[in-house]
Amino acid sequence: MSTESPTSRQSLSGGDHPLDWLDVREKERVEAGLRRRLRPRAATAGGLDLAGNDYLGLCRDDRVLEATVRAVRTWGGGSTGSRLVTGSTTLHAELETALAEHMGAEAALVFSSGYLANLGVITGLVGKGGLVVSDAINHASIVDACRLSRARVAITGHRDVEAVARVLAERAEERALVVVDAVFSVDGDIAPLAELAAVTRRYGAVLLVDEAHGLGVVGPGGRGAVHAAGLAGADDVVLTATLSKALGSQGGAVLGPARVIEHLVDAARPFIFDTGLAPACAAAALEALRILRAQPRLADAVRANARALSAGAREAGLRVTEPEGAVASVLIGDAQLAFDTAARCAAAGVLVGCFRPPSVPDGISRLRLAARADLTAADIARAVTALEAATSM
């Protein structure tokens, strides 16, 4: 059955209501094992959390909480307006300076989410008559940004630098942007950034790297994959980041040459027409970043824990990726089986992510394991035992 919405006036289910087709779609999703349900968690929910993205365990750190509460008392519950009207506080400015310094960029601009940072920078840097070259498994926010940009979009195979070079060499468009996740969000592998930067430079394009899973995790002190590849501060490389993973808060940022940031302030619609990030979130991220700067080993710890988790799962006979950041994934295949396996892990007190279509292509559904810096050897052993039991049923 087509997945398009019905366009004729007759409803697919034969009913009379114009939304009856939603029931047909739901039935299809249920049958395919793709129905999603919100499961609100309680603040006190126990268990071992390998599903969240609080990689450094800073979301509930006392210092982060204190800074957040101070910001709420100082600034209130929200930012009160667009960054260009009333929504820019001194906290936003401090955070931008700190992020840029940490990642080795000339300047930074905070958005209210990483998703919007990707929409803002991609639509801001390329448009109609331009070209975006995007890795096949880039994050959904990049995919959506490419569509929104109205540029021609060329999807290249995962990590295929030769394909990127070919598309750039054969293009008719003058302006081109190559975009890639630094650390791919489900499998946890790192993009070949040095090679991509060389190719984009050779063909007069700009490289945009999404450091959502690199910041706080990859490279010395968690300065990110771009820094680790020796590309920090390059005048033709732009980064995005999220504040919602290693920094335990919410929000996003674009980092790069000052002229890019200045352009986005004037031109990026998801920046201009969105209410500024809540000051409390800016304060939480800023404090988390200060902690990371004072304890750079946190980044090493999360990577070591991810490797230990993956090695344990592999020894238990599971098909698991080799993590280069905080994340590894266990290949399951069938969507319903992946869902049931994640549910069995949860019943055993170990929360893991479950990735099914449309988050991954059909037939390669998987469990996503996100390590944290504060995991103990006992936590890792517990997780491996739960995974082994859940997959052998």
- 3-state SS string for 126-185: CCCCCEEEEECCCCHHHHHHHHHHCCEEEEECCCCHHHHHHHHHHCCCCCEEEEEECECC
Respond yes or no on whether the N-terminal peptide bond of residue 6 is cis (omega within 30° of 0).
no
Closest-approach residue to ligand PMP (CB): 114
- Minimum CB separation of residue 316 from ligand PMP in Å reads 27
Q: What's the length of the chain? A: 393
CB-nearer residue toward ligand PMP: 242 or 391: 242
- Minimum CB separation of residue 302 from ligand PMP in Å reads 15
The reply to whether 89 sits near ligand PMP by the rule CB under 6 A is no
Q: What angle do CA 47, 306, 64 make, to 5 degrees?
A: 65
d(CA 59, CA 41): 15
The reply to whether 189 sits near ligand PMP by the rule CB under 6 A is no
Find the binder of ligand PMP among 79, 88, 141, 305 (CB under 6 A). Answer: 141
Looking at residues 219 to 278 of the shown chain, list those that interact with ligand PMP (rule: CB under 6 A): 242, 244, 252
The reply to whether 115 sits near ligand PMP by the rule CB under 6 A is yes
- Minimum CB separation of residue 122 from ligand PMP in Å reads 12
Find the binder of ligand PMP among 54, 96, 135, 210 (CB under 6 A). Answer: 210
DSSP-derived 3-state class of residue 190:
strand
Find the binder of ligand PMP among 99, 126, 212, 229 (CB under 6 A). Answer: 212
CB-nearer residue toward ligand PMP: 210 or 324: 210
Nearest alpha-carbon partner for 233 in 39, 117, 103, 381: 103
Torsion of CA 356, 44, 212, 51, to 10 degrees: -30
List the x/- string, 146-185, binding to ligand PMP by CB under 6 A.
-----------------------------------x---x
Helix (H) or strand (E) holding 197: helix 193-202
Residues of this chain that bind ligand PMP (CB under 6 A): 113-115, 118, 139, 141, 181, 185, 210, 212-213, 242, 244, 252
